[in-house]
Structure 1
């Protein structure tokens, strides 16, 4: 499948994002991810999914170049809703998904990782939601999932500053399960996956149904409003300037309009 490698080791499905150079989350990649979930959903042998990235990054975020091809707010809202639906499907998946993060999980890459049920990260990885530095906002449910992991005050800080944190700090604030050295990342992720795969699939499936009940009822409202805001923001001059500055590798000049 384009943009993904897929193999099985026992009851563990190892899925690798392979979309060089940064594993950017294009519309096509998200569509392929959704199709891969279809495949995994019907594989009775799989008990755990391990998601990782090929190359230098787990995922450096959304495909910014795609943004320049959209014209209307509804185009951007549709993009946000599409990503949200795939990530929501991961979070509600009956098979546990472990993200093994190296290099960077930024923007949409972090939003993808947060939709996974567990996260193991390298100590020196860059983790964050830098969208506001481009004059835009997170659109794949980042504003709703991040506070659940780190609390509202830290979520405000990370989103509003746009400053990435290290894997070590991400572990300290509860955003990821463990931070490890890069040379043992996959080994540690496989250890966790193996310990789960040894359990009864019937028990695993029940846990995957029960834990999500702890989520607030306001989550879906927040996700819907995030997609609408994502669309509105792209109508601003600042969003156009921020995206253009990113593509031109320069600092944006925001005018607050």
Structure 2
């Protein structure tokens, strides 16, 4: 179980998430991912980043089992801080981040993809935020970057998912390809970016973030506050335990 990095074509950093069985990341995993993204952006030889995953799906969010195994709120606070760090690292990475999504992309996965610069997906990819069924709130900030406002609210309140092809119709997924073509599709875009003057691309990334109408860090942190409130009243713990019991 790890976050691994590989340099491709001299100037492309491929960061792979691999936490079997479903890429539900533990606290340490979120911080490790954030660190890998920061280091990639700080390296002048890196012109673009591809964020991908191994296994059944791109990301299933936080490791709920880790939270339920822990006494007190340390794991919960750690997961929230880890997600905040990883989502922020995608957004603030000094070079464009291309997310290559396959299978399921849920919860924290939406936080990563919503903050990415380019999204490509396999034709089996689905996206959603099941937080309300887990007794938590979060990533509406990032889901709102993928779909229009009323659809975001519908998906959020119902915990339903949306397909990659549907997201492509909204312009948030750039390409939908067969699963075995996904990595090459992501690299194709990364190569196109990487061959350009990285000084210009880095300036463009900073400029685009600067004119972004959504303050993603602040709005996500606002959402997290309600998650802590739900934990204090006991609703979150009941929902997480119910989810784990249904999964047995």
Normalized against structure 2, the TM-score is what?
0.91
> What runs of 5+ residues in structure 2 fail to find an aligned partner?
none
The structure 2 residue matched to 1:226, chosen from 223, 231, 234, is 223
Q: Which residue of structure 1 lines up, in the alignment, with residue 85 of structure 2? A: 85
Q: Which residue of structure 2 lines up, in the alignment, with residue 6 of structure 1? A: 5
- 1: CA distance between counterparts of 2:51 and 2:25? 14
Q: Which residue of structure 1 lines up, in the alignment, with residue 194 of structure 2? A: 197
- 2: CA distance between counterparts of 1:28 and 1:75? 10
* 2:244 equivalent to 1:247: yes
- After TM superposition, give the deviation of residue 230 of structure 1 in Å: 1.4
1:1-257 equivalences under 5 Å are 3-10=2-9, 11-68=11-68, 69-72=70-73, 76-77=76-77, 79-138=79-138, 142-216=139-213, 219-249=216-246
- After TM superposition, give the deviation of residue 241 of structure 1 in Å: 2.2
2:58–2:104 contact (8 Å) kept in structure 1:
yes
Which moves more between the two structures, 176-185 or 54-63?
176-185
The 3 A distance-change label for structure 1 pair 224 and 39 is closer
- 2: CA distance between counterparts of 1:77 and 1:225? 14
**Deviations 1:117-161 (Å, cap 9, x if unpaired)?**
1111112212100111223222xxx12222233222111011111
Runs of 4+ in 1 over 4 A off after TM superposition: 217-220
SS in 1 for 2:119: strand
- After TM superposition, give the deviation of residue 61 of structure 1 in Å: 1.4
- 2: CA distance between counterparts of 1:175 and 1:7? 26
- After TM superposition, give the deviation of residue 86 of structure 1 in Å: 2.7
The 3 A distance-change label for structure 1 pair 187 and 75 is closer
- After TM superposition, give the deviation of residue 175 of structure 1 in Å: 3.3
- 2: CA distance between counterparts of 1:234 and 1:177? 37
1:62–1:109 contact (8 Å) kept in structure 2:
no
- After TM superposition, give the deviation of residue 5 of structure 1 in Å: 1.9
After superposition, the CA RMSD in angstroms is 2.1
- 2: CA distance between counterparts of 1:136 and 1:165? 20
